[in-house]
Amino acid sequence: MKLANDGGMFRVIFDWDYVLWEVRLKLVATGFFIYLGVFLLVHWLSSWTCTSYPTLSAKEKIFSNIAITRGLFGIQCCVAGLWALLIDPVFQSDQVYSQQNWSWFHCLTASGFILLENLVVHVSNIIFRTFDVFLAVHHLFAFCGLLGVITNVKCGHYIPLMGLLLEMTTPSICIYWILLRIGWANTLFWKANQWVLLHLQHCRMVLSYHMWWVLICNWNHVVENLGLPHFIVYLLGLSTLTLILNPYWIYRSTRRIFGPADWSFSLFTTLFGSSGKLNSQTLQKKII
């Protein structure tokens, strides 16, 4: 009885007419403002509870807040992605055309977060004269991919949900950043988290191979379902992820196993210098 009641509750939450533009845009806005609220709440709580937070530069504060917000978003993505990958019978039987009300909800609210993250990252790049090309490319393809879901009501959701599942590393990256900033970068917990992060980076690679398998086995159907422009974006994004982004991030995670390093502002440091500190020592940042 309790399970039946829970199922009814979730049906009420997700029971929207997603064909309507106003519904889709409202959920995108909901995701944007919910995660904006998390971003601001993290800043407020850190200011009051963390003694080291006020000593950070404005650039580092923004990155800390978005890293924690991204970690919470990653939890949402893991739940939605794993449910589609392992549990939901609709997505198990049809990986091209299938949609669910709950998948609409997650894809649209995730689009709101991606919009927020792009805004924060690019405004920060302009203000602080920083630029991470790998992160920018990742955000570009993520935004374009979810934009296709918003505009195409016939788009299947299995592939976008697998794209969300790629965010499985963000909670570990969030923990890594927090431990780095509070001076716990040489603790056993830090090392354990790094091994988890490296393992998840390899899981991302396996997941990207699974996405290739779905694409190759259903090539014509995927093209028909997504439409040619969206399909080209998906193909370029998956190729970039598989050949460049995933190997690069695996390399960075492997390097961190052998010692803490702050990669967050490496290009800025190389061009303009930095006064960032790690464990009360001047942080020697590198660009690879």
Q: Are 34 and 45 in contact (CB under 8 A)?
A: no
pLDDT of residue 9: 52
pLDDT of residue 202: 96
Closest listed residue to residue 213, CA positions, set 111, 85, 112, 22:
85
Q: Are 95 and 158 in contact (CB under 8 A)?
A: yes
| pLDDT, tens digit (0-9, with 9 covering 90-100), for 71-99 | 999 999 999 999 999 999 999 999 999 99
Report the alpha-carbon angle 181-62-128, nearest 5. Answer: 110
Q: With a cut of 70, list the residues of the chain below it in pLDDT.
A: 1-12, 259-288
Q: Where are the domains of the chain?
A: 23-253
Q: Which two tokens stand for residue 95?
A: 């990986």
> Cβ contacts of residue 32 below 8 Å, gap of 6+?
112, 113, 115, 116
Distance CA 152, CA 181 (A): 42
Taking all residues of the chain, what is their mean pLDDT, rounded to a whole number?
85
pLDDT of residue 235: 96
What's the pTM?
0.85
Distance CA 133, CA 70 (A): 18
Q: What are phi and psi of 233, to 5 degrees?
A: -60, -45
| pLDDT, tens digit (0-9, with 9 covering 90-100), for 167-176 | 999 999 999 8
pLDDT of residue 231: 95
